[in-house]
Structure 1
Amino acid sequence: MSHLDDERIALIAMGEPAGSDADMEHLVECENCAAEVAAMSRVALVARSSVVEGDLESPPADVWSRIHGELGLTSAVAADPASDVHPPESESASAPAASAPVPAAGPATAIEADAAEAVAPRHRSRVRPRRRSSATMWILAASMALVVAIGAGVWIARTLTPSSAVIASAELAAFPDHPDAEGQARIDDDGDGRRTLTVTLDGDELVAGDYREVWLIREDGQALISLGVLDDSSGTFRVPDSVDLDEYRLVDISFEPVDGDPAHSGDSIVRGELDFA
């Protein structure tokens, strides 16, 4: 009896269409081939169960082509198994006969159940599974490694990527000379200890020749640090690592004249104290 070739068995085990009516009839009648499909389906199931939930990134297109070339595989498995593109069926392929059970493309558990029915005849003890070729095992091993590697990459990216968190905020109240102004401030920590101050300012009008500057001021008002110029209604500024925010708790936005003097002008628009609760 002529058996199904190893590549066809591997494709069926991984959920690919089985092929012609003759292939299906052989799979139903041949205990050896059915047992091969069942065994390889278990390997495919283990590979699928190793993937974490979430969106997976597709590997570069040349990964499968290099595997294909290295193993010297046929054109029947030339298409990247990680893509949605499958090689066209041969012209001789036709719809499976209604009377023959067809292993459906899908989860490995369904294929395994069909294969189990195929090996149900009485002489199961006499089944001698054929030795799998090295090429077949390489196909399964490469597919399983590819799936596991992609899943591990997603898990590592999610686990190791630092997450930003707001650690303090403040409502910025207007000074008497700027009654319509209002603002907000927040301190973000990126998870690696880098901190940023984000401020928003509404209700003020920038006077020609002036600019607005963002400050951190010590609670006693005796020391202050300039973080930069606020060009728009909002801006984000890096807080130096050496700055103790427990000490420099006041956020201030001021009007500054273009006079070459780096000191605070004394014309504050809004100011507020950071709350770390």
Structure 2
Amino acid sequence: MSHLDPELAALIAMGETDAADAQQLDHLAQCPECADEVAAFAAAAGAARGALAEQPLLTPPPRVWQAISAEVGFTGSAPMAASASPADHLADAPALAPLAATPAGPRAGAHRVARGSRRRRFTLAIALAGTVAVAAVVAGVWVAQDAGIQSPTIVAEATLDAFPDHEGAQGEALLEDVDGRTQVVVTLDASVPDDGHREVWLIAADGSDLVSLGVLDGSEGTFEVPAGVDLDRFTLVDVSQEADDGDPAHSGDSIVRGALEPA
């Protein structure tokens, strides 16, 4: 008989042995090329099993499977019940070590496969591996959300404009909320002087008061906003050039400054 259809080989690798009849399974046991193909599919499934089995995942909404299906051109239904995780289904796949260990050399009755058919099988293998990879990435997002890890929420942002003595400098500031904490993320593009350092400040809108957030080391930094700072009052973000003289006050040499506006 001819080689197993690639779709059937993929189903067998995923544990759907009922999809094959006795003659096809007998062919699989005798054909090194088909055995190698099933083993390759099983390896992709095994990689996903290792990535997903460490902890339970949230059940994804239907739109997630629809997006993955559209990406790889799959038209079937979702492969898991609402109460099961991807790891549960991958764990049900049979061990394929005997097939993977089948010698790859020529055997009696073995036959060659047309180059176009091999290319088609290889393309399907890549598609299956891609589907597993996408599912693993999405699952990682579910795990992170289930563990309470939150992404920053941008509350306000500011464009930092240059002062006359620092022509060409520019920057940006983002005010973020991270799990109830407030931080300012500053990026700065400006020439670097030979000495001194740069400091990030929050300044009251009327210029009557200011709070140091810390030293900007490099072109980007994240700074925690101290508790008690009224961000309705301290709306200006300033980056200054400071001398290494031990004086904690603002030098008066601002590089850039901008007002935070609601995002």
- Give the TM-score, by structure 1 length: 0.48
Higher Rg: 1
- Give the TM-score, by structure 2 length: 0.50
